Amino acid sequence: MGRILAALVTATLFCATPLLAKDALMIDNVQEPSTLDPHLQWNPDSYTVYRNIYDNLVTRDATGAIAPQVAVSWEAASETEVDFTIRDDISFHDGTPLTPEDVVFSVKRITDPEFKSPQLGQFSSIIDAAVTGPSTVRLTTNGPYPVLLAQLVKLSIVSKAYTERMGNEALNLNPMGSGPYKFVEWRKGVKVVLARNENYWRGTPPFATVEFAAVPDAATRIADLKTGKADLIVGLNPDDALQLDGSSGVEVRSAPTERVGYFMMNTQAGPLTDQRVRQAVSQAIDRQLIIDALLGGFSQVTNQLLTPAHFGYVEGLEWHGYDPDKARALLAEAGHANGVEIEIITAPPFDQRIIQAIQQQLSDVGITLTISMSDMSTFLGRRRADPDGFGDTVFGRWSCACQDADGVLYAMFHSGSVWSKYANPELDKYLEAGRSTLDDAERMAAYTEAHRIIYEDVPSIPLYQAAAIYGANASLNWSPTANESISIMDMAWTD
């Protein structure tokens, strides 16, 4: 018996070492894709898969700058019109060429209200798309729209003929694009299998096949990585990352994302209408401590509600430092020497440890934070409610998936936005200026002013730039990016 056991253990040790360069890449996502129709869902479990099947109109390069993909170049014809020149050497997986008609069809499909895409709002500024020549397309917006290119990074180009012939349901179940990988099979709930597109226009994709599995439990994803069942796993938290330390053949990879942790305050009702109280809240929160203690040091403090990955990020800004004495003094000055009670609305998806840490830090200066937890739907109802129904504060991680100040600051602070609990005509003016000119320098100037007002008036506290943490087979050559895409074209085995 002992000998058998010893033999088994020996065999196990050999099996457990990750296999050498193989032709298949296995990726563990958290959930299976909601859909593989690229015009319906933009959640990471879906787009990490379908963005390898499709090409997008434009993309972002390794530095995060917007770069050509299906469009070779683009030029503004007027304040509201942009002309795109489309590559003529791209073919769909069925062999048909990708034409300007397909680009126009894709734009019109996602902007058609009857199509009911949840992404509609990201593209609804586009009011027309037209073929203007053998390889040119013109997009028309309902006003000068500087975020257009940033939004088009997310626009996958589908085949007009295939989609019309097969219908929307078939496109979801049998997606067909022009990207580096062809769709092979979607075993519902188990995995999606993709195969190399040998004729891909950007070169030969690195692996013969790629499989995306749905593994919801992080501990199981880690087991998959350790046993070599998976080569890349997503969605780890700092505690999970610790479990990978010291395991041979696997390593943690992380990257700062465009998600901003923030603590927003209701400036239009309740005790936080007083700027001094808001500043006291800010100076009572030790952001670095939260990052070190709860986020494993993976995230970084940010002094504005943007990250370096956003357009509109201004280098070198300051924020009110952690200073509990100053916070107490400000509270006393505002007439709250004996303490003040405020409420935070929240729902299960938000990291409750951070909220409890903030609760503790606020109580140290005499602010009692009551946590009102509800289901997501009720929470969103209050989140979007009038200032009187909102509560006093909310914690979240904002992502516009567009890496542009307009997607964050306008929605968060403009007096006309349902998410805003702040009304300041001066800030409104700069936010409007930022979205109504195509001139980058003018936009930067507007956002610099917007940051200044937010710093002075403290309608919201920037906490940290969130990190995305992955586990990878050590021989997989790949670095994560700020937009959390998993571009297989950029991967390879190291030998």
Partner 1 sequence: MPYFLAVRSAQALFALFGVATLVFMIQHLSGDPVVLMVPEGATAEDIVILRREFGFDRPLGVQYLDYLRDLLRGDFGTSYIQNIPVADIVGSRLSYTLRLSAAALAIAFLVGMPIGIFAALNRGRLVEKPALALVLAAQSMPTFWSGILLILLFAVTLDWLPSSGAEGGSAIILPAICLSGLTMATFARITRNAIVEELGKDYVRAAYARGQKRLSIVLRHVSRNAAVPLISITALELANMLAGAVIVETVFAWPGLGLLAVQAIQANDFLVVQTIVLLGAAAYIVLNLTADILYGLVDPRIKAVGR
Residues in contact with partner 1 by CB under 8 A are 8, 11-12, 15-16, 31-32, 34-35, 37, 40-43, 113-114, 116, 118-122, 124, 168-169, 172-173, 187-191, 213-217, 219-221, 223-224, 226-227, 229, 375-378, 380-381, 384, 396, 398-401, 407-408, 410-412, 417-419
**Residue 82's beta-bridge partner residues?**
76, 139
Q: How far apart are CA 318 and CA 315, in angstroms?
A: 9
Residue 153 CA to residue 50 CA, distance in Å, equals 14
Is the CB of 87 or the CB of 229 nearer to partner 1?
A: 229
Report, in Å, the least distance between residue 216 CB and partner 1: 5
Supply the minimum distance, in Å, between the C-beta of residue 228 and partner 1: 9
167, 37 in Cβ contact below 8 A?
Answer: no
| d(C-alpha 415, C-alpha 322), whole Å | 29
Nearer to partner 1, 169 or 315 (CB): 169
Which residue, 32 or 286, is less far from partner 1 as judged by CB? 32
- Shorter beta-carbon distance to partner 1: residue 72 or 190: 190
The CB-of-365 to partner 1 minimum distance in angstroms stands at: 30
Question: Which CB sits closer to partner 1, 74 or 262?
Answer: 262
Least gap, CB of 177 to partner 1 (angstroms): 17
H or E stretch covering 173 = helix 168-173
- Residue 346 CB, nearest approach to partner 1 (Å): 15
| Separation between Cα atoms, residue 20 and residue 23, nearest integer Å | 10
CB 171 within 8 A of CB 158: yes
The residue type at 460? S
Q: What is the dihedral of CA 285, 368, 348, 464, to 10 degrees?
A: -10
* CB atoms inside a 10 Å sphere around CB 165: 10
Q: Is 444 helix (H, G, I), strand (E, B) or coil?
A: helix
CB nearer to partner 1: pick between 8 and 77: 8
For residue 104, give the amino acid letter: V
User: Which two structure tokens, joined as six digits, stand for 241?
Assistant: 């990352």
Residue 195, C-beta contacts closer than 8 angstroms, at least 6 positions apart: 181, 182, 184, 208, 209, 210
Nearer to partner 1 among residue 30 and residue 301 (C-beta):
30
Q: Residue for token digits 């009572």?
A: 284
Nearer to partner 1, 410 or 464 (CB): 410
Q: Closer to partner 1 by CB, 206 or 407: give it.
A: 407
Decide: 38 and 158 in contact? Cβ < 8 Å: yes
CA dihedral over 486, 490, 493, 495, signed as positive or negative? negative
**Cβ nearer to partner 1, comparing 161 with 223:** 223
C-alpha distances in Å from residue 248, one per residue of 217, 298, 428: 22, 21, 53
Closest distance of CB 258 from partner 1, Å: 12
Contact between 405 and 413 (Cβ < 8 Å) = no
Which residue do the tokens 């005509």 mark? Answer: 425
Beta partners for 368?
Answer: 341
What are 464's two structure tokens?
């940290």
Q: In the numeric block, which tokens belong to residue 225?
A: 């990585």
Q: To the nearest whole angstrom, how small is the minimum distance from the Cβ of residue 13 to partner 1?
A: 9
Nearest-approach distance from CB 113 to partner 1, in angstroms: 5
Nearer of residues 243 and 254 to partner 1, judged by Cβ: 243
Least CB distance to partner 1 at residue 327 (A): 29
Is the separation of the CB atoms in 215 and 31 below 8 Å? Answer: no
257, 297 contact by CB (below 8 A): no
Minimum distance, C-beta of residue 224 to partner 1, in the bound complex (Å): 5
Smallest distance, partner 1 to C-beta of residue 6, A? 13
Going by the DSSP 8-state scheme, the letter that residue 91 receives in this structure is: B
User: What is the C-alpha separation between 183 and 168, in angstroms, rounded?
Assistant: 16
In the complex, the smallest distance separating the C-beta of residue 408 from partner 1, rounded to whole angstroms, is 8
Q: How many residues does the chain have?
A: 495
Residue closer to partner 1 by CB (options 244, 284) is 244
Burial class (CB in 10 A: 0-12, 13-18, 19+), 85: middle
